Amino acid sequence: MTKKDLQSQLKESMMAKDTEKTSVLRMLISAITYYEIQKGGAGYEANDEDVLTVIQKEAKQRKDSISEYEKANRQDLADKEKSELKMLQEYLPKQLSEEEIKELVKQTISQTGASNIQDLGKVMGQLAPQTKGKADGAVVSRIVREELSK
């Protein structure tokens, strides 16, 4: 997924008068542009990995907002964030299930020879490239902690 792909989809959603999708795509393109400016100014162009990073960041923000809105009993705002999150997830790779993550964790623990919670960093370092974009880091960390605590 590139920025140009998103801009193309934005045009399509505008023509289809899909206001919600148009809004999410505008927000996403704006976030990518901001990322590009932070990285290298006007001459920097985000690659596919950069775009994925921005989409993940935006999705995480939505998850955090949903949690906060639900705590504050603002279901209307939580529903809006859930809708945006659902659209953002369409642009992310298929997420790993907890069972798939557990299998990866077990394999990595045996490969690294990790035996206790002090080896958490070693295991997470090995897992990060394998799960990037495919699993929430907090979930991976929780599963690693559970496996190392056994």
Tens digits of residue pLDDT in 49-81? 899 889 989 999 999 999 999 999 999 999 999
Q: Are 148 and 123 in contact (CB under 8 A)?
A: yes
136: Cβ contacts below 8 Å, ≥ 6 apart? 60, 95
Average pLDDT of the chain, as a whole number: 91
**CA 119 to the chain's CA centroid:** 25
Tens digits of residue pLDDT in 9-46? 999 999 999 999 999 999 999 999 999 999 887 678 88
Distances (CA, A) of 34 to 31, 38, 39: 5, 6, 9
Could you give all domains of the chain from N- to C-terminal order, each with its CATH number?
A: 3-89 (1.10.1510.10), 98-148 (1.10.10.410)
Distances (CA, A) of 117 to 41, 101, 130, 142: 41, 18, 20, 11
